[in-house]
Chain A
Amino acid sequence: MHQNGFTDDHLDMLRELMNIAMGNATASIADLLEAFGKMHIPQIMISDMEGLDGYIQQSIPKDQRNYVTKQLFGGEFSGEFLFVISEESAIHLGHHLYDVDQPSDGDILDAVIELTNILSATMISRLTEELHTKVQFFVPSTEVVDGNALISQEDIINYHRIIIISTQMEFQHQNINGQIFILTKDGMIGSLKDLIDRKLEELYA
């Protein structure tokens, strides 16, 4: 038995739903951005802020400059969608979407936002659709961060229980790699559990 009432069954179901959502995202990107890629099997874990920081440090090289896009989503299942892409990949993305040799800073930022839009809309929308609930997306913001310190020291000491859903996205042909984190915390974990319970009932009733 995990904390917040999450069991292995809940985690398995969430992993299954994420697989569907990720398939959806890959197809949408292929369709809309003409980029064919794959997404790794999602990692799902329950942790705290310190654990999240450690996991991010482990997943993202510390010696690279990253475009970090954060987008909040609200509803019965709400949280934060985090997309991290290295500067090199972001430039390749800008080059691919804007069809210019040297994309401007604005081109790159917009391209990153565009990809984040598709990723968040497909993955979260599909996930919430499967869970029969609605979601609203808020305006994303992107910042360029040196290294992998994405969480401030002040926030690390905050006590939050967090569900971390993470996966890696790869578009080999375009040389684009990114890391996706879907984070939800505290009360929302219970809310997500209730939604999954309903889904389980629906499937096994």
Chain B
Amino acid sequence: MVTITYPNVLLDALEIGVMIIDETFEVRYWNQWMEINTSVRSSDIIGKNLHAFYPDIDYKVLSRKIRTTLRLQSPTFYDASLQNRFIEIPRTKITTSLLKYMQLQVTISPYDVEENLVMVSIYDISDLHELKLTLQSQMEKISELNSELHRDKMIIDANLLIIKIDSECRIVEATQAFLEFFGYQSENVVGSKLAEVFGDASVDFDTVQICDAIASQKKWSGEVKARLHDEEQVWFDAVVTPFNEENDAFCYTVIFNDISDKKRIELLSITDPLTKLYNRHKFNEVFENMVQRRHWDENHTFGLIIADVDYFKRVNDTYGHQIGDKVLIEVAHAFSETIRIGDILARWGGEEFVCLLPAVDKAKALYVAEKLRLAVEQLDIQNVGKVTASFGVTIFTAGDTQESMMHRADSSLYRAKENGRNRIECL
């Protein structure tokens, strides 16, 4: 065992403050750390009362702690977690400014019980405390962010139609808004395949495009259509986004944005209000696109039909405009029921209708026109009876423009009228 000959040297070398005081707070020892950090020299304070230098200490509490230490011969402590409850020591750290004074951990240990002396050890735990404060502040921020996240999640859940699906197109999660929109319960949806959920009789939803996007593991967006229980048709702008779960499993979110209103407005802008066929504006747009396509040749061409209801002015004059409109509606309906899928039918204006026939030759175009003529001829319209229509047909040839085709179809129609009406002519 080594005898410590110079205990003062040892105490001065420690990176803690050490003072020895008695029960009346008279200072008996003041180490170098205390001198340096408090700017109070040991020669000035030793033999004096601590109260003269530090009047703000709660001496009643200190007295009790000293008494406990001496009686129990065991250390007592000041709480180090809140503000300093002992002496204030200014902090010299410049790079951080959270604490103006050192955060102290104060331990009062028995020194000489018979002489009623205790040793007060002061540890500077400012760095630790700063870290704690920073951590607390970060935790508060995280808590705030979590609250915001939760709030956002609630808003999303209540307002946005979103589902999460796995790579097998099985629904993993669905927002409340989604469930309410389609009238489903969570338990009937989660765990089921998308096609199964929308394949039931209640909702007619074409899920093929979404499942195709998932099969190709790519981001996809597009329009999808659904028919709800009440037969209402709705349109969605759907966005499929793949993402990796924490467990590296591949999942997808599908966000449905209801664009039905936009679609309805869009439809209104291209629809003839009376006959519900495409209007002239939409027809011209499609017509222009078809003319500009480069791959038409003699074997792959398209046709144009112009139809005009015969003696329509007479109908209007005899039965009035309301009946005239009814005739136009019936004729438009007959045309709609007769044309092929992919043909573009529109009301050109007045009692004139136009129809674009993709991928037809002259014979096929004449065949379609004949079917249209017969469809009108077979109508038996209330108050009016039988009506007929005349047809001008033409086929796209190299160098044709919209105007040239319209001109030929018009001339054909004129010829059909000249030649007795209720017939077809082709130029």
- Tell me the A residues contacting B by CB distance below 8 Å: 28, 31-33, 97-99, 105-106, 109-110, 112-114, 117-118, 121-122, 125, 137, 139-143
Contact = CB atoms under 8 A, between A and B. Distances in A.
Contact of B79 (A28, A32, A97, A106): A106
Given A106-B79, A109-B79, A142-B79, A117 B105 contact: no
Given A32-B68, A98-B61, A117 B79 contact: no
Chain A at the B interface: SS class: helix
A31 B85 CA distance: 24
Contacts of A137: 74-75
Contacts of A114: 61, 64-65, 68, 76
B68 A106 contact: no
A109 B72 contact: no
B77 interface: yes
B67 interface: yes
Interface of B: 58, 60-61, 64-65, 67-68, 71-83, 85, 105, 107
Best-buried of A33, A106, A125 by chain B (most CB within 10 Å): A106
- Give 7 nearest A-B pairs by CB, closest first: A121-B74, A109-B79, A121-B72, A117-B76, A106-B82, A110-B79, A113-B79
A106 B105 CA distance: 14
Nearest to A110: B79
A32 B67 contact: yes
B177 to A, nearest CB: 33
A139 B82 contact: no
Best-buried of B58, B77, B80 by chain A (most CB within 10 Å): B77
A113 B78 contact: yes
B64 A139 contact: no
A125 B68 CA distance: 13
B83 A106 contact: yes
Contacts of B74: 117, 121, 125, 137
B82 to A, nearest CB: 5
Contacts of A143: 81
B68 A141 contact: no
A137 B72 CA distance: 13
Contact of A125 (B58, B72, B77, B79): B72
A140 B71 contact: no
B109 to A, nearest CB: 10
B82 A113 contact: no
A204 B63 CA distance: 43
A17 to B, nearest CB: 18
A54 B31 CA distance: 49
Contacts of B85: 106, 110
A97 B82 contact: no
Contacts of B71: 28, 31-32
A168 B314 CA distance: 109
Best-buried of B64, B74, B81 by chain A (most CB within 10 Å): B74
6 contacts: A32-B68, A110-B78, A113-B77, A114-B65, A139-B105, A139-B107
Contact of A141 (B61, B75, B81, B107): B81
Contacts of B64: 32-33, 97, 114
A109 to B, nearest CB: 4
Nearest to A28: B72
A143 B82 CA distance: 11
